[in-house]
Amino acid sequence: MTLEICNWAPDEGADPATHTFTFGGREAVVSVKPGTIIDSWSFDCFGGRVKSASDMSTQVCDPRFLNPQTGPFYVEGAEPGDTLAVHFISIEPREAWGVSTTVPFFGALTSTPTTATLQPALLERTWIYELDLAERLVRYAAADTKFTAALPLDPMHGTVGVAPALGEVRSSLTPGDWGGNMDTPEMRAGVTCYLGVNVDGALFSFGDGHARQGEGETCGVAVETAMDTVLILDLIKGTPTPWPRIESDEYIITTGSTKPLEDAFRIAHSEMVHWVSELTGQSTLDSYQFVSQTALTPVANVVDTNYTMVAKVAKDYLGSVNIMQGMHQKMQARAAQWRDYQKGK
């Protein structure tokens, strides 16, 4: 098996306005063949401009230029009706620090423009985290007391997506059926994400690296950090995927992104019912009953312009089924080949 490798990466010194801040509406930065390994990196959500506890994001960032994306990548042969498979070989912090903040009128436990009250904004504050890459820890330090905690490093990407349908251009702050800013901790190394292709070439982008994030991303900002990422892009031809799916070694996972939150829940569970029905041959009603007794439902985000819920069903419950034409296993084999190649360099 020959390795196709693309080493394209963003220009760190370029004008922020030249980076990608949308899904759709941008020309591809490079064209790649299905099966290509992308070895690249991405900015943190602030584009590296929040570097210390004295930096307030509202003062040092232009709100038009948040969540810069790496890409878009044009995948040769991708057409509407296909599914793009994205396997994350590795997701590793690029720096030994991360940052989190409170942002005025943004977050789950404050007034927002769409949940308007007469209360003033919460205090804006910035926390800097030490990332202990050797010990695989994220070191938290309270701002008002001496409390500290060592939290497990759990790198993930908040944004993973393709160009939307109907020629739409959507902010990289928003999730939807194209993927985008789903902010689910399930999007970690070792998983395969499945995205429905809406335009020729798919136009895949990723970014918004998190050293770790709690489910829900309650304050609106995870431990944000620039991320070195190695991933594989491949195609499942002639197979549509209406909403993003994720496959890990243990689970199949569906997503739903909208407001209100219960409708995001309904999308994720409806998608899971249909997927389980397809895999097992059960009727829709039987699958509904089965999913009702087996699903886990972690909250991804309740802070973005759309909220995201996921549904998970353990693969052990499904017996011997053929999931997405065995793409996850195919990707794992290619990832192993990549690791062997790296060892031999």
Evaluate the CA torsion angle 88, 172, 7, 136 in order and state its sign. negative
Residue pLDDT, tens place only, 9-40? 999 888 888 999 999 999 999 999 999 999 99
CA 150 from centre of chain: 24
Cα–Cα separations (whole angstroms), residue 319 to 316, 326, 328: 6, 14, 16
Mean pLDDT, residues 30-57 taken together: 97
Give the pLDDT confidence score for residue 317 in this predicted structure.
98
Q: Give me the pLDDT at residue 9, please.
A: 92
State pLDDT tens for residues 184-216.
Answer: 999 999 999 999 999 999 999 999 999 999 999
pTM of the predicted protein model: 0.96
Residue 32, pLDDT score: 98
| Average pLDDT, rounded, for the chain | 97
Domains of the chain: 5-241+326-344 (2.60.120.580)
Flag whether pLDDT at 1 surpasses 70. Answer: no
pLDDT digits (tens, 9 = 90+) for 117-165: 999 999 999 999 999 999 999 999 999 999 999 999 999 999 999 999 9
In whole angstroms, what is the distance from residue 220 CA to residue 103 CA?
A: 8
Rounded Cα gap, residues 144 and 146, in angstroms:
7
- Residue 322 CA, chain-centre distance (Å), reads 25
The tokens of 109 are what? Answer: 């436990």
